[in-house]
Amino acid sequence: MKIQRTFALLALCAGVYGSALAQRPIALDDETIFIAVEEALQDARSLAGADITVRSQDGFITLSGVAESLEDIAAAGRIAAGVRGVTGVKNKLRVANRPSHA
């Protein structure tokens, strides 16, 4: 009987410990995040005409370059923010053939 209680306690501890590990965010390095963001942006058909430069530092993404419309700029920001490991996005994209208001 004591052995059964010990196994039950071990199983309970393993379950609690396992779910705690599953809930902890996985730290990704900047190179992995950079590649994932670039691939996600390249896969977006609506951004085919965009010329976007991606920078990653500590999971924070900076997008710069040009896109064809304000909607494309917003879409690029949403796509980048949705990539696992991204902690924030600074969207410095501008519309092609429009002057910057820097």
DSSP letter (8 states) at residue 67: E
Q: What is the structure's pLDDT at 36?
A: 96
What is the sign of the dihedral through the CA atoms of 36, 38, 40 and 42?
negative
* Contacts of residue 23, Cβ cutoff 8 Å, sequence gap at least 6: none
Q: What is the structure's pLDDT at 97?
A: 80
Q: Give the global pTM.
A: 0.69
* Average of per-residue pLDDT across 57-79: 96
Q: What is the structure's pLDDT at 96?
A: 83
49 falls in which pLDDT band (50, 70, 90)? confident
CATH code of domain 30-95: 3.30.1340.30
